[in-house]
Amino acid sequence: MPEKEKIEEETKIKEDKISEKTDKEIKVSDKKLDKEPQKKKIKKEKIGILNIYTSFNNTIINLTDFSGKTISKFSGGQSTKQDRLKANPTIAMFVAQRISEEAKDNGITGFYVKIRATTGQNNPGPGVHAAIKSLIRSGFKILSIMETTRMPRGGPKKPHGRRGRRV
């Protein structure tokens, strides 16, 4: 008889442990059900197109949305009074800072950049790299950089005809 009682006590203890485990699992599952997953606030990224036109005389930056509507436009001539400084990289940085302020006001977080130099030039003006660096430092994403400089194909007819200038 004492052996049966021991076995019964052991089975009761095991059953109690099992019931405690299931109770804990139920409590844990209730906690999981009670807490709804908090949704993270996803900021909608607004992206703009940044057209940078640089020559060796000036830097013009034009910010548009995807439909082509101009949001803001600044040039080196608006930042300085001296003609010789309009194409300067430092002035291009100031122009880019003004553009970045306008972009932040409109909620823009990233740019597609289109760089354009004067027609026929191999390299853009000196202000391009400084402007892009300034925009990156102010916290914008540069999604792509595209060079859209126009190249002449044949061009206009040369003067003086086929045989050249006769002296």
Is residue 27 assigned to a domain?
no
In a domain? residue 58: yes
* Predicted local distance difference test score (pLDDT) of residue 14: 67
Is 95:63 a contact under the CB 8 Å cutoff?
no
Cα→Cα distances 13→5, 16, 93, Å = 12, 5, 77
In a domain, 12, yes or no: no
Domain residue limits at 81: 46-147
Domain total for the chain?
Answer: 1
- Distance separating alpha carbons of residues 51 and 61, to the nearest angstrom: 6
Q: Does residue 106 fall inside a structural domain?
A: yes
Residue 56 domain-assigned (yes or no): yes
pLDDT for res 9: 75
- Model pLDDT for residues 54-81, shown as the tens digit of each residue: 999 999 999 999 999 999 999 999 999 8
Residue 22 has what pLDDT?
58
Q: Is residue 33 part of a domain?
A: no
From the number of C-beta atoms within 10 Å of its C-beta (0-12, 13-18, 19+), residue 48 rates as buried
**Quick check: is 61 in a domain?**
yes
Instruction: Specify the pLDDT at position 152.
Output: 85
Q: The domain that contains 89 carries what CATH number? A: 3.30.420.80
Residue 83: helix, strand or coil by DSSP? helix
The average confidence (pLDDT) of the chain is: 84
Kindly calculate the radius of gyration of the chain based on its CA atoms and give it in whole angstroms.
35
- Say if 79 falls within a structural domain: yes
What's the whole-model pTM score? 0.67
pLDDT computed for residue 53 by the predictor: 95
Contact between 54 and 124 under an 8 Å Cβ cutoff? The reply is yes
The residues of the chain scoring below 70 in pLDDT are 1-4, 6, 14, 16-41, 43
